[in-house]
A = this chain, B = another copy of it.
Amino acid sequence: MKTFAEIQAFLTGELEKLDWNRQPVGLYEPIGYILALGGKRIRPALVLLANDMFGGNLKEAAPAALALEVFHNFTLLHDDIMDKAPIRRGKPTVHMKWNDNTAILSGDTMLIEAYKLLAQVPERHLKATLDIFSKTACEICEGQQYDMEFEKRQTVSVPEYMEMIRLKTAVLLGMALQVGAGLADAPKADIEELYQFGINIGLAFQLKDDYLDVYGNEKTFGKAIGGDILCNKKTYMLISALNDAGPETRKELEYWLNNTTDDKAKISAVTGIYNMLQTGGKCEEAMDFYFQKAVANLNRISLIEDKKQELRALAQRLMLRNE
Chain A residues close to B by CB (< 8 Å): 23-24, 26-27, 78, 81-82, 100-101, 104-105, 107-109, 111-113, 115-116, 119, 123, 126-127, 130-131, 134-135, 137-138, 141-142, 144-146, 148-149
Contacts and interface: CB of A to CB of B under 8 A. Distances in A.
A119 B130 contact: yes
Given A24-B149, A82-B101, A146-B24, A109 B127 contact: no
A145 B78 contact: no
Q: Which secondary structure dominates chain A's binding surface?
A: helix
24 contacts: A23-B142, A24-B146, A24-B149, A27-B142, A78-B105, A81-B104, A82-B105, A107-B108, A108-B108, A108-B141, A109-B138, A111-B112, A112-B134, A112-B141, A113-B134, A115-B115, A115-B134, A116-B131, A116-B138, A119-B127, A119-B130, A123-B126, A123-B127, A130-B130
Contact of A78 (B108, B134, B138, B144): B108
Contacts of A104: 78, 81-82, 104
A151 to B, nearest CB: 11
Nearest to A71: B112
Contacts of A130: 115, 119, 126, 130
Contact of A112 (B100, B123, B126, B137): B137
Closest 7 CB pairs of A and B: A27-B145, A82-B101, A109-B141, A112-B137, A116-B134, A119-B130, A24-B145
Contacts of A116: 131, 134-135, 138
A101 B148 contact: yes
A209 to B, nearest CB: 22
A153 to B, nearest CB: 12
Contacts of A115: 115, 130, 134
Nearest to A109: B141
Contacts of A126: 123, 126-127, 130
